[in-house]
Amino acid sequence: MYLDTINISELERFFNDLKLVDQRKIFAAGFRKAANPLKNKMQALVPVKTGNLRRSIGSSIARDEIALYVGTKIGGANDGWYGHFLEEGTKDRYRKDGSETGKIKGKHFASLAFMYTEDEVYSNIEQEWYKAIDRFIVRTNKKLK
> What is the pLDDT, as a whole number, of residue 65?
75
> What is the pLDDT, as a whole number, of residue 4?
43
> What is the pLDDT, as a whole number, of residue 8?
62
> What is the pLDDT, as a whole number, of residue 5?
43
> What is the pLDDT, as a whole number, of residue 3?
37
Domain residue ranges of the chain, discontinuous segments joined by +:
19-144
pLDDT digits (tens, 9 = 90+) for 31-69: 899 999 999 999 999 888 778 888 888 888 887 777 888
Instruction: Say how many Å lie between the first and final Cα of the chain, rounded.
Output: 33
For the stretch 58-94, what's the b/e string if a residue is b when 16 or more beta carbons lie within 10 angstroms of its beta carbon? bbeeeeeeeebebbbbeeeeebbeebeebbeeeeeee
∠ CA(75), CA(29), CA(118), 5° rounding? 85
- Residues of the chain short of pLDDT 50, as ranges, are 1-6
> What is the pLDDT, as a whole number, of residue 7?
57
CA distance 83 to 54: 9
In Å, what is the CA distance from 133 to each residue of 14, 30, 52, 128?
9, 8, 34, 9
> What is the pLDDT, as a whole number, of residue 1?
30
Q: State the alpha helices, DSSP H only, in 3-144.
A: 5-17, 20-34, 36-45, 52-56, 83-88, 109-144
